[in-house]
Amino acid sequence: MTRRTSIPRLSRTSWPPRVVIRKAAGLRTMEAALLRSGLGPVAGVDEAGRGACAGPLVVAACVLGERALSSLADIDDSKKLTERTREALYPKVKRYATAWSIVSFPAEEIDRIGIHVANIEGMRRAIAGLGVTPGYVLTDGFKVPGLCAPSLPVIGGDASAACIAAASVLAKVHRDRIMREMDTELPGYGFSVHKGYSTKMHARMLSDLGPSREHRMTYANVAAATRADGLDDVAAVMGRMDRDAARAR
């Protein structure tokens, strides 16, 4: 009599985890490895304005060739660079990149479809808008389904891959310029200072002036500003947001 051995059933928790590339030894290590494997061109994609409560979400994609990598030796995570350095790098990235693309989602559309959907769709559009078809895509932080090429999410990507760092500079500078223009169209909110992010100064302006057409009305602190006791509500919401952000770090 042959004894049958039961095979344990696989569950979702039995599957291997999704592959995520973490920080590499240098900003050029990742692209170089992919290019050596014949998987180029390598595109990086990143966004600016996801955490803001006013203004657009801007997403950029960028492909850097060997010439660009050597010409952009000072490229880094845009958050680590000064505004002056980012502004100086912006035209250089456009000049030396093999291809680049920038797309934007206004506040009204973010309210309609949600910030995460806008972010994913923006990354898809930015990659589709490149003048070359990438062989591989590196995204900052999370997986983006529906791309035209294989892709990997990179934790801390704008500090780990040059193409993502270049995309982050494009997105950040482009959005900052929009916010400075917005400050002249809608004076009093301080958009050129806080760039639409949830700061104490922004909370005061929201309380004094109420939300503008460029605010994301579905965001809790913006909704709080529409109530009669706006300043107290906004301050409370801002405090909770600061505590949540601290716990997330």
Q: Detail the residues annotated as belonging to a binding site for a divalent metal cation.
A: 46-47, 140
Taking the C-alpha atoms of residue 164 and residue 170, their distance in angstroms, rounded to an integer, is: 10
Binding residues, by number, are 46-47, 140
Pairing assessment for the beta strands 136-140 and 42-48 based on DSSP bridges: parallel
Question: In 3D, which of 46, 171, 179 has the Cα closest to residue 107?
Answer: 179
Q: Is the dihedral of CA 147, 109, 197, 221 positive or negative?
A: negative
Q: Which residues contact 92 (CB under 8 A, 6 or more apart)?
A: 71, 72
Taking the C-alpha atoms of residue 236 and residue 33, their distance in angstroms, rounded to an integer, is: 48
Whether 152 and 140 have beta carbons less than 8 Å apart is answered as no
Taking the C-alpha atoms of residue 159 and residue 38, their distance in angstroms, rounded to an integer, is: 24
Helices (H), the chain: 29-36, 66-71, 83-96, 107-113, 115-128, 162-185, 191-194, 200-209, 220-224, 230-248
Whether 46 and 163 have beta carbons less than 8 Å apart is answered as no
Taking the C-alpha atoms of residue 130 and residue 88, their distance in angstroms, rounded to an integer, is: 22
Angle, in degrees to the nearest 10, between helices 29-36 and 162-185: 130
DSSP state of 154: E
